[in-house]
Amino acid sequence: MSNATKLVDMPVSSELVRLLMDVGYVATGRGLQTRAEAVFAGAIAARPNSEFPLIGLGVCKINFGDFVAAAKILSEKALKINPSSGLAKCFLAIAVKSLGRKDYAYELASQVITSCEETAAVTLAKSIVAGRDVAQ
């Protein structure tokens, strides 16, 4: 992408983007991987400057066992947009823990616990450290 090309949020309402995210999570939960990925791709296109649609895609990849892709999306894309995102760090921790990198997972989760103000992220991070996350 050249310097002249800048990613711009599409003129889509926040409510519609939230609905897309909800639909993506429901599709993920129902085992509809291709559809879930398409929905998250739409949310990413609508909000290219937000880490949240990328986190959604990362969660989708985790749910379908593609931990390498999830880790790449979360570390190279979501955390590039927002390096302090507690949720992105937590889901990255789940992905890397599933890949056998438990020490790195605990390091990420500990960072969230000590330096994040996102309540949901801190709660998830504490469960990762306690060993009760979804990557069991």
Predicted pLDDT at 132: 63
CA distance 43 to 74: 15
Query: Is pTM beyond 0.85 here?
Result: yes
For residue range 56-66, what is the model confidence (pLDDT) as tens digits?
Answer: 999 999 999 99
Domains plus CATH for the chain?
14-130 (1.25.40.10)
- Count of CB atoms within 10 A of residue 83's CB? 10
* 7 pLDDT above the threshold of 80: no
Neighbour tally for 106: CB within 10 Å: 17
The CA–CA distances, whole Å, from 50 to 17, 29, 41, 67, 100 equal 11, 23, 12, 21, 29
Mean pLDDT of the region 104-119: 95
Q: How far apart are CA 88 and CA 55, in angstroms?
A: 6
* E-state strands within 15-134: none
